[in-house]
Amino acid sequence: MGNYFFKRLVNDCKKISPYIRFKRIKHGFYRIYWRNAYLHECYKWMPIVGYDFEDYDPRFESRSYYEEYEDNADLTMKIKNFREGYFDALNTIKRRVYLMRNQREFYERSKRAYKQVRIK
C-alpha cells in the first residue's frame, strides 16, 4: 500500500476529517476526495520532504526511451518537476479542507472540477 510516510498521511487524514477518502488511480498515484469534492493527489512512495528535479536528463527528450524503459510514475513527476513529500501533502490537505469547510464557493468549484472525470 505504500511506504511509511504514505501510511502516516492516510492516518493523519483520518484525524483531520472522517470524510476524506483515497481512490487509487494508476501508476501508484492516489486521488484524495473530501465528501464529493476533489481535494488533492499524491504518490504512494513519497519522501518525507518534497524536492524539485534540478538535474538535466537528455533521455527525457526521447519519448520512445521513456515509454519503453522508464517508470510512468517517475515520468509524471519529472514532467511536473516536483516530487511531493509527506509534509507538503499534509499542509495542502489541511489548507484545502479548511477552505472547503469555510468557503462555499471553493467547495462548489472543487466539486464541479472532477464531476465529469472518469476514475480509472
In-domain check, residue 16: yes
Domain that holds residue 105: 4-113
Residue 6 has pLDDT above 90, yes or no: yes
3-state helix, strand, coil in the chain (%, to 5): 50, 20, 30
**In contact, 37 and 20? CB cutoff 8 Å:** no
Query: Which pLDDT tens digit goes with each residue over 77-99?
Result: 665 666 788 999 999 999 999 99
Report yes or no on 119 lying in a domain: no
The total number of structural domains in the chain stands at 1
**Residue 120 resides in a domain:** no
Beta bridge partners of 34: 20, 37
Structural domain contains residue 24: yes
Question: Which one-letter amino acid corresponds to residue 89?
Answer: A
Q: If residue 31 lies in a helix (H) or strand (E), which one and from where to where?
A: strand 29-34
> Model pTM?
0.75
Whether 118 is covered by a domain: the verdict is no
